[in-house]
């Protein structure tokens, strides 16, 4: 006799303000409801347990990206922009584009940036120490990546504010057409035009990461148009993710001063500490996949062509995987979190993200004893990202 498994159903809206303000109780409810949960409101499936999220991410043949990694199914409605040829692609196209970025963004290749990124962090932290009180989001979490990332790609200075506007479009664009989506897309035309104008060979510095992509056209590995599309991927994925990551790290250390002390006393914990931030307050909360065939998940049948919402941030706090999951602890082995994803689409830029964080928090650890909140932080809601709009801080010098 077959075992009958009751299918878990939820009426929750994971893109509502209430959910996004505090997703954690909802994550727990979804994890406990079952290995996969039907979200009635959107007619989609959701996974919130570490094992199931991981299994879906490592099975691209069943859980594809080519139909989009947001709610919208590209096979049923036109995407708001031409699909990314790496994020929203499957093998064999993905294999070819990914190989180029894997090479350009390898830890060894990215280490070349270290000296300049550390220098920029030290200059910025020196200025902020003089100011003493400032907004940790605008003046640090945004200011640092907005300087070093476009410098590294090889983009001109003028108009860089468009990078955050475009990031908001991209990451809100993975959600439903709700108020957050509409607000992000309100000025889409000029922002998109600016971004696309920076993706041509002519707009890029000769020694940057962007031009390195264009060099892959020499061997015929990529076409000229594909190289431009991969520069667009840099500009889409490389700014907001690190802005929210650095902002969330500041938020964690301001709220857990004893963890900052532990880190300062043990500088070798720096890399693990940033992984713990990514686990505990994941800047990227979710991605979707689309099933290519019917699949059984823990006894529940999912049909072909179904959207599956993967809660990376819920996997990061699954008690089946983590001890004391709701505790921020820089000493734990936080690697294995799902914030960078895993499998063939696992974050190709993670060496850059880690280097930026190491530079900023390394500079802070040398000179800052504590972070004091001078007012309540406010949240910036986003259909995909979790982070702050403002984080009023006072630095206590070491
Ligand atoms: C892209 C892209 C956009 C957003 C995120 C991302 C996390 C990639 O355009 O390829 O990866």
DSSP 91: T
Closest atom, ligand 1, to C-alpha of 345: 11
- Residue ID of nearest Cα to ligand 1 atom 11: 237
Q: Give the per-residue pLDDT at 347.
A: 98
Compute the average pLDDT of residues 144-154. 98
CA 100 – CA 94 distance, rounded (Å): 10
Report yes or no on 2 lying in a domain. no
Question: Which of 233, 244, 278 to mutate to test ligand 1, by most ligand atoms within 8 A of the CB atom?
Answer: 233
Q: Using 50, 70 and 90 to split pLDDT, how confident is the model at 7? A: confident
Domain limits at 310? 8-397
What distance in angstroms lies between residue 151's CA and the mean position of ligand 1's atoms?
A: 19
Q: Give the per-residue pLDDT at 173.
A: 98
Report yes or no on 240 lying in a domain. yes
Report yes or no on 369 lying in a domain. yes
Q: Give the per-residue pLDDT at 276.
A: 98
CATH assignment at residue 292:
1.10.630.10
Report yes or no on 166 lying in a domain. yes
Q: Give the per-residue pLDDT at 4.
A: 59
- Residue ID of nearest Cα to ligand 1 atom 9: 233
Q: Give the per-residue pLDDT at 54.
A: 98
* CA dist list (Å): 238 to 2, 257, 350, 351: 48, 29, 10, 11
Nearest CA to 282 out of 372, 347, 352 is that of: 347
Report yes or no on 1 lying in a domain. no
Report yes or no on 21 lying in a domain. yes
| Phi then psi dihedrals of residue 100, to 5 deg | -65, -50
pLDDT in tens, 311-362: 999 999 999 999 999 999 999 999 999 999 999 999 999 999 999 999 999 9
Beta strands in 169-292 (DSSP E): 286-291
| pTM for this predicted structure | 0.97
- Residue ID of nearest Cα to ligand 1 atom 4: 237
97 close to ligand 1 (CB < 6 Angstrom):
no
Statement: residue 2 has pLDDT above 70: no
DSSP-derived pairing of the beta strands 37-39 and 44-47: antiparallel
- Residue ID of nearest Cα to ligand 1 atom 1: 233
Report yes or no on 3 lying in a domain. no
- Residue ID of nearest Cα to ligand 1 atom 8: 237
Report yes or no on 254 lying in a domain. yes
Q: Can you tell me whether residue 351 is helix, strand or coil?
A: helix
236 close to ligand 1 (CB < 6 Angstrom):
yes
User: Domains in the chain: how many in total?
Assistant: 1
209 close to ligand 1 (CB < 6 Angstrom):
no
pLDDT in tens, 82-104: 999 999 999 999 999 999 999 99
Q: CA-based Rg of the chain, rounded to a whole angstrom? A: 21
């Amino acid at each position: 006799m077959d075992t009958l498994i009751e299918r878990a159903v939820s009426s929750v809206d994971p893109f509502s303000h209430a959910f996004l303000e505090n997703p954690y109780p909802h994550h727990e409810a979804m994890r406990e409801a079952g290995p996969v949960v039907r979200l009635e409101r959107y007619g989609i499936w959701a996974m919130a347990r570490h094992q199931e999220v991981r299994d879906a991410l490592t099975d691209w043949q069943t859980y594809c990206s080519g139909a989009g990694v947001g709610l919208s199914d590209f096979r049923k409605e036109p995407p708001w922009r031409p699909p990314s040829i790496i994020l929203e692609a499957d093998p064999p196209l993905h294999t070819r584009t990914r190989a180029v970025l894997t090479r350009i963004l390898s830890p060894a290749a990215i280490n070349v940036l270290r000296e300049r990124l550390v220098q920029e962090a030290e200059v910025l932290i020196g200025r902020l120490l003089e100011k003493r009180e400032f907004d940790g989001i605008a003046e640090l979490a945004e200011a640092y990546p907005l300087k070093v990332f476009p410098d590294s790609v090889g983009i001109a200075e003028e108009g860089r504010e468009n990078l955050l506007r475009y990031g908001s479009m991209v990451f809100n664009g993975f959600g439903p057409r709700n108020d957050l989506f509409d607000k992000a897309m309100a000025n889409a035309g000029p922002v998109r035009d600016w971004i696309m104008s920076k993706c041509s060979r002519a707009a890029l510095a000769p020694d940057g990461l962007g031009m390195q992509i264009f060099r892959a056209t020499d061997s015929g590995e990529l076409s000229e148009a594909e190289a431009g599309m991969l520069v667009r991927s840099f500009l889409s994925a490389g700014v907001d993710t690190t802005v929210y990551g650095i902002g969330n790290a500041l938020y964690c250390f301001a709220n857990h001063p004893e963890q900052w002390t532990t880190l300062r006393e043990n500088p070798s914990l720096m890399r693990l500490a940033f992984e713990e931030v990514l686990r505990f307050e994941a800047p990227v909360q979710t991605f979707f996949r689309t099933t290519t065939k019917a699949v059984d998940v823990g006894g529940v049948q999912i049909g072909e062509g179904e959207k599956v919402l993967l809660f990376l941030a819920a996997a990061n706090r699954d008690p089946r995987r983590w001890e004391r999951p709701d505790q921020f602890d820089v000493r734990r082995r936080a690697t294995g979190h799902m914030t960078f994803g895993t499998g063939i689409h696992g974050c190709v830029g993670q060496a850059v993200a880690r280097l930026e964080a190491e530079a900023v928090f390394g500079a802070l650890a040398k000179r800052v004893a504590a972070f004091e909140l001078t007012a309540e932080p406010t949240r910036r809601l986003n259909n995909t990202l979790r982070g702050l709009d403002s984080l009023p801080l006072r630095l206590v010098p070491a």
